Structure 1
Amino acid sequence: MAEQTALGHPFSTVTSDDHGGLIYIAVFLALTYSNITFFTRCYIKMNIFGFDDYAMLAAQVANMAQFAFVMVSLSSGLGRNFSLLSESQYSKMASAQYGNQILLYFSLGLSKCAAVLLVQRLCTRDTQRNFWIGCNIVTASMVTWTILAVLVISAGCAPESIAPARESQICPSISSRYQVVVITDVLTDVVLVLVPTYLVWRLRMSVLLKAQVIAVFAVRLPLIPVSILALLRFNRSLYHSNPGVARSSAIILQQAQLCYSLIAGTIPCLKSFIRSFDTGSGVKAAVISNAYGSSGHSNNESYRMHNLSSNGSASRSRDEDPGDLKVNNRPFPQEKGRQGRRRPKSTTSVTALSYQNPQSHKPRDEDDGSQELFIRRDVQWEVHSENIPCTA
């Protein structure tokens, strides 16, 4: 007795009639892991937030809201034997659990939208127009699924049907409704893996590198067995002799599903994985000027070459950094023993170079909605050399 007094009252207990402590552990762990992952995403993409990041932000806000509903439901008796609860406790618990289910699927759907928008962000609109349109269609499908999933599990059923204490309280179609939601949930996860697979497989990359990139997006696949198992546990709890305790395993699996979905949407954003998207197709060449053109390579800087106007000056757009104009006076060697048109004594090769500082302003692609992390980018340029009379 003295030992029990010294230890004090535990925060929650786990008994045969009370599994609330297990739900507490699952909910707090899921919130902690998802928040850590989200803050990591914010740190990595601090200055390059896009639509995918805002969608993930909305998903995280919905996750926090459903966490609050779970806590209210737990304080009212979630996970306990319903026969031990008063009418007011049971009503409050069922209403809070009802709201939790709505926000849970809302957050899950937003995390799917963020995954699609991230894939769309990896390609340019001009060079991958068909794929861009396809991503818009998939995004619209995910938004539609989110709205329909929320309506299917909530419309026409009382809050007590989500956590029924008796069989008479079960909504007649609640089981089939959850089956439809879970089946479509599995299909959407498969689509979210197939979309980047289709994009990456068309690139000129090694099979090993393609598999590495696809594996990053395929981390969503473990969500399929988790969602199916949660459905089976939920259906089992509806007709269980102790539905309050039996329902706890389904709630724990749902929290794990939501947490993993939020984490899976951020894994491709990590820097260690982003290096896999570099196929060498970006503009990463420094330029060496000579009489016949420009070539060269640099590992640390990127240059964009500009067309020359008719008067020999470099034409620059108003939103780009001014470039350096390099003039190389080099006479052409005279070749002995050959007849033909004589070349001038001296020619000048003019090459316009501009270095674009990524921190000075936003790239033009960013204004169109596709900002960084290009998987595929087609770049074309022409280099012209002009003969300038020697004045000296």
Structure 2
Amino acid sequence: MVAATSSTAPLPAIYSLSPPHGKITADNHGGYVVICGWIMMCFFTIGVLTRLLTRTIPVVTIGLDDIMSGLSMVFGIAQTVVIYISAVNGLGQHQSSLSPKSFRTYATSYYAANILYFLAVYFAKISLVMIIMRLSPAHFVQRLCVGVLLFITAWILAEIFAFAFQSPTPQAWNYTQTRRGGVNVPALYYTAAAGDIVSDLLVIILPAYVIWQVQISMKRRLAIISVFFVRICVIICSIIRIPALIHYVTSTDRSWHAVGPQTWIQIIQCLSILTACTPCLKPFLEALESGFMDLSLGQIRGDTYRAHSGVLETAHSSGHAGQKSSGTSSSTPTKRKSRLSSAGVANNDDESYLMDCLSSEHPHNGQAFLGTASRDQEKG
């Protein structure tokens, strides 16, 4: 009697709720993209906010590179939200099982997610280049960075334009169209993947080349380069994604086979944004204060980050002392004064000790001073 009564009792309200979005079943793998997307979004959001926090406490010193990093976070969040909408409406399901309304929502969301992805990684890459530009006013480095920025910008504009018009208008999102006017889809995706890898290589090689020219200890040089070289993980993920991408672009059931490449896209986007933040974290900056970025970072970040820059400040004051004294040219203060003056540092405090050796105006004097400063620091 009790059993019969309990069997007819109404079920709790929780049993009437619909399944959660992103549920993984035998015929729906979109949940893999949703899970990966949300987790990756949390990671890169924390990374960018940490970077911006180190730029605002204790003094506000946000630069253009930080703004670019913030934009990459905004576009990355937007891309994650849009790809979630796509997964809810058909990504990871067989195309034949989708209603016309679901297919339209899935296809338009996936179309928009590709554009947002390009913008997110673009701003992450140029933020890294702008870090080098911010640290060094040397003309040679500035010209080199501008060249890399122009290449990356040209690449992103070409890719956005190609993806925006990959299918005939006005339904450019509808890749199932049979009308003429579309692009070669495999070539489009392969070119985009190659452009990603090449631009990431440039972003890695640029700071490595610049720092390699500086006369500092090999240990410190390799340590600094490794902070930028960590971006190699983005290239590795881009290469791993290629087999899944080949399977996707040659498939007639793209909504089903989009899970693999799109999951890797979420990982690549996260790593691209995160690795653009690593050189700007406070522990990294503090570790470098006694090294080659003393004055350039001190001028940018204020007196808070000048506490340990005694060596370079001593060299600077020695230069002024040499101007007041009438010592011979063989004395150490006079030598340092001439090096500072010829490198353009004593007359312009905004000039960076790091990159002045790369300037075409005074290559030898700048290198000599950097070598002296580095040796003094190692002795200290």
TM-score with structure 1 setting the length: 0.68
Query: Equivalents in 2 of 1:237, 1:251: separation in Å?
Result: 10
Q: Structure 1 residue 196 and structure 2 residue 207: aligned? A: yes
Q: Give the aligned residue type for 1:216.
A: V
Q: Name the residue aligned to 1:44.
A: 54
Query: Which of 84, 87, 91 lines up with 1:74 in the alignment?
Result: 87
Q: Give the aligned residue type for 1:103.
A: L
Q: Name the residue aligned to 1:148.
A: 158
- Equivalences for residues 1-392 of structure 1 within 5 A: 9-11=18-20, 12-46=22-56, 47-123=60-136, 125=137, 128-158=138-168, 164=175, 171-240=182-251, 242-274=253-285, 275-276=287-288, 278-279=290-291, 282=294, 299=308, 302=313, 305=317, 365=350, 375-376=354-355
Q: Give the aligned residue type for 1:228.
A: I
Query: Equivalents in 2 of 1:82, 1:280: separation in Å?
Result: 57
Query: Equivalents in 2 of 1:278, 1:376: separation in Å?
Result: 16
More helix, by proportion:
2
Shift in alpha-carbon separation, 1:31–1:376, aligned structure 2, 3 A: same
Q: Secondary structure at the match of 1:204?
A: coil
Deviations 1:292-322 (A, max 9, x none): xxxxxx95765765969xxx9xxxxxxxxxx
Q: Secondary structure at the match of 2:230?
A: helix
Query: Equivalents in 1 of 2:210, 2:268: separation in Å?
Result: 26
Matched-pair identity in %: 19
Shift in alpha-carbon separation, 1:280–1:87, aligned structure 2, 3 A: closer
Query: Equivalents in 1 of 2:225, 2:45: separation in Å?
Result: 25
Q: Give the aligned residue type for 1:186.
A: I
Shift of 1:70: 1.3
Shift of 1:375: 3.8
TM-score with structure 2 setting the length: 0.70
CA contact (8 A) 1:109 1:145 kept: no
Which stretches in structure 2 are left out of the alignment for 5+ residues? 1-6, 297-306, 325-347, 358-365, 370-380
Shift in alpha-carbon separation, 1:57–1:169, aligned structure 2, 3 A: farther
Which stretches in structure 1 are left out of the alignment for 5+ residues? 285-297, 313-362, 381-392
Shift in alpha-carbon separation, 1:168–1:5, aligned structure 2, 3 A: farther
Aligned length: 306
Q: Secondary structure at the match of 1:45?
A: helix
Q: Give the aligned residue type for 1:81.
A: H
Q: Secondary structure at the match of 1:13?
A: coil
Deviations 1:235-255 (A, max 9, x none): 312333643222111111011
Q: Give the aligned residue type for 2:68.
A: A
- Greater mean deviation of Cα atoms: 185-194 or 268-277: 268-277
CA RMSD of aligned residues (A): 3.5
Shift of 1:45: 1.1
Q: Give the aligned residue type for 1:95.
A: T
Q: Give the aligned residue type for 2:118.
A: Y
Shift of 1:257: 0.5
Shift in alpha-carbon separation, 1:157–1:167, aligned structure 2, 3 A: closer
CA contact (8 A) 1:152 1:181 kept: no
Deviations 1:355-374 (A, max 9, x none): xxxxxxxx963xx9x8xxx7
Shift of 1:33: 0.5
Query: Equivalents in 1 of 2:18, 2:245: separation in Å?
Result: 31
Shift in alpha-carbon separation, 1:299–1:41, aligned structure 2, 3 A: closer
CA contact (8 A) 1:167 1:239 kept: no
Shift of 1:19: 0.6
Query: Equivalents in 2 of 1:39, 1:281: separation in Å?
Result: 23
Query: Equivalents in 2 of 1:36, 1:44: separation in Å?
Result: 12
Shift of 1:277: 6.3
Deviations 1:104-139 (A, max 9, x none): 11111111111100122222x2xx211111112211
Structure whose CA Rg is larger:
1
Q: Give the aligned residue type for 2:25.
A: T
Deviations 1:171-197 (A, max 9, x none): 550110111121122111111111111
